[in-house]
Structure 1
Amino acid sequence: MHSKNTILVAAIVSLGQGASLAAFADAPVSASQVVQALEDTFGVHPGQRRNHVKGTCALGEFIGNPEIARYSRSALFTGKPVPVVARFSVAGGNPNAPDTAKSARGMALEFQLPQGHLQHMTMINTPVFGAASPKTFFDLTVATRPDPKTGKPDPEKIKAFKASHPDNSEQAKFLETHNPPMSYANSAYFGIHTFKFISQDNKTTLVRWQFVPQDGEKRLSDEELKSAAPNFLEPALIRRTQRGPVRWDMVVTIGEPGDSEDNPTLAWPQERRQIKAGVLTISAAMSQKGAKCEPINYDPLVMSDGIAPTNDPILLFRSPSYAVSAGKRLSGQ
């Protein structure tokens, strides 16, 4: 495990009985505190992830577009096949979350580059994220904690969270107005953050990326949402790969001056230039227990030469928080 993934030790924040979320709006939050909040909200499931716990493994390859080499010297874009270990998932820490939930779906990719180098991409199927700072994510996790008396989140706490955290509104609106995908294979996945492509001559280009399904985007209808089984996503992906390879186009958006570099809740203008950067092919899918994706910590700061992070506080926070979660689950906690 990378040295930057050293498990952080920090005190756990206690909001107290009836405490206001707004009172803590500017308080700092640590990776350990966020993981603890996830455990308090969803429970502890030993040996499993603390977020996006419900998932499916997959295997395939990526062939990059050599024309992208003008922007990035990454070995992803040589035009040669790169093995990929993928994981598709449902957001949240509940391993029994229904696949009909109006929550995010995830796609995590580990590209296995020559000479043992790795590139990770950890994405979700909403165009923007629901927090501009780690504190917003923490507060949302606390606000949605089930009330012991009802077993459901307290509507007043959620109302207070929404009123005090406008940076959550765009993702929440997207999830409310878009039904979940009918298959992992029929969903686009967004990198959410802004990254840097670095060329051979050290020129930096700001980019965002997404993976667009060649099968087309298809969502459950309102009627299908009511009747769909709670665990349809994994068998649907397995059946689809048995019929033949599933493919996504990697599309890179080129940033312009003034585009947000460090706020994943803000979308870039739709008229920005887009370039097809390669094709991801998934050839097999399987249950995650004992499969190749299960032990992988899909840290998004694991990057190949030619791709670099920006100062997005959410992006930079994901690495230590993933490390805390990985450290716990890999030790059987």
Structure 2
Amino acid sequence: MEKNYSDLAETAIQSIEKIAGTHPGYRRAHAKGSYYEAVFTPNGQAIPYTTAAHLQQEPVKAIVRFSDSSPSPKMMDGLSPVKGMSVQFQLPNGQVTYLVSVTVPVFLTKTPEAFVEIIRLTAQKPGPRDLVKMFMKYPESKAAFRIIKHMKPFLSYSTSCYYPIHAFYFVNEQGKRQAVKYKWVPDETFSLEAKKESAVHAMDYLEKELDEQLPIGFTLYVTLGEEGDLVDDSTASWPKERTTFAIGHLDINGKIEHPDDQIVFDPTVVPAGIECTDDPVLHARRDFYAASFKRRIKGL
């Protein structure tokens, strides 16, 4: 039986609002974003590992949302280091599935309870001693904070790599499960124009720069986990020597000018051929997103 994280989600949202204020009608995280039409074309390389409909050989339509991680829709681009790329795949049977990615490869905590405790501490404006105690209590958080601390200024949505963070299971026709992690790699990994634009308009330029770069593309890679690789800890990285290969390409063709912003990019909504691991942070996201959506549609 899946654990219910509804109460924890309410606590998290209340803490986020103490930090960033309340912005009625917006998501409680990744509030600022823009939508694009896309087509995902699988290359067939995933077929031995999964029966998932969008990873076979036929192209499927997709909707992509690029976003800033901040809870504030007015956050200036240069002030929030982590960005997001969420993809809704529209499956042939009328169903959908999602990949929710950010520009860092690991999460802050092993559990949603620890994540909420860190948010609550942040809302209380902790001092240096409080931060030291937090890192002693949650040493696994150091990896993510270290990555964020040393991140270079973000230049472009279209030239960055994105990581869905969590491990999933691919399930093939024989019922065999294979642990995998995903990674989106951009077709273009450096943009001189983006660098110039960020220097001139460092505070608010990413959406404009992305629109000017269209069409753009990303290749979806998977890494195959092996025995001993952690699948239920989103703070843990797998060894670099693990087998990694491309399973498809995403072509982002045009902006959706008046999007239906009611999509809930829930990474636990997976099709036949893919299963969620026991990662508690992954499973908590369903209730966290549902709580945010409930407020959003009520204009709260």
Unaligned stretches of 5+ residues in structure 1: 11-29, 148-152
Contact 2:69 2:80 in 1 (8 A): no
Contact 1:104 1:124 in 2 (8 A): yes
Unaligned stretches of 5+ residues in structure 2: none
Of 115, 123, 140, the match for 1:167: 140
Is 1:323 aligned to 2:290, yes or no?
Answer: yes
Partner of 1:191: 164
Tell me how many residue pairs correspond in the alignment.
298
Is 1:277 aligned to 2:247, yes or no?
Answer: yes
Distance in structure 2 (CA, Å) of the matches to 1:327 and 1:217: 39
Q: 1:166 to 1:224 in 2, by over 3 A?
A: farther
Partner of 2:78: 100
Of 75, 97, 106, the match for 2:53: 75
Is 1:302 aligned to 2:283, yes or no?
Answer: no
Partner of 1:254: 224
Instruction: Give the alignment of 1:140-151 within 5 angstroms.
Output: 140-145=118-123
Distance in structure 1 (CA, Å) of the matches to 2:193 and 2:148: 13
Partner of 2:37: 59
SS in 1 for 2:79: coil
Superposition deviation, residue 155 in structure 1: 4.8
Q: Which digits, 9 at most, give the CA deviation of each residue in 1:123-163, with x for residues without a partner? A: 1111111111112221222233375xxxxx75554444334
SS in 2 for 1:66: coil
SS in 2 for 1:49: coil
Letter in 1 for 2:250: L
RMSD between aligned alpha carbons? 2.4
Q: Which digits, 9 at most, give the CA deviation of each residue in 1:259-291, with x for residues without a partner? A: 01100111000000011110011111356xx41
Contact 2:5 2:284 in 1 (8 A): no
Is 1:85 aligned to 2:63, yes or no?
Answer: yes
Contact 1:46 1:329 in 2 (8 A): yes
Q: TM-score scaled to structure 1, two decimals?
A: 0.83
Greater CA drift, 74-83 or 251-260: 74-83
Distance in structure 1 (CA, Å) of the matches to 2:263 and 2:71: 17
Q: Which digits, 9 at most, give the CA deviation of each residue in 1:76-126, with x for residues without a partner? A: 122211111111111121222221135311111100011211111111111
Is 1:134 aligned to 2:112, yes or no?
Answer: yes
Letter in 1 for 2:184: F
Partner of 2:211: 238
Greater CA drift, 45-54 or 161-170: 161-170
Contact 1:238 1:286 in 2 (8 A): no
Letter in 2 for 1:93: P
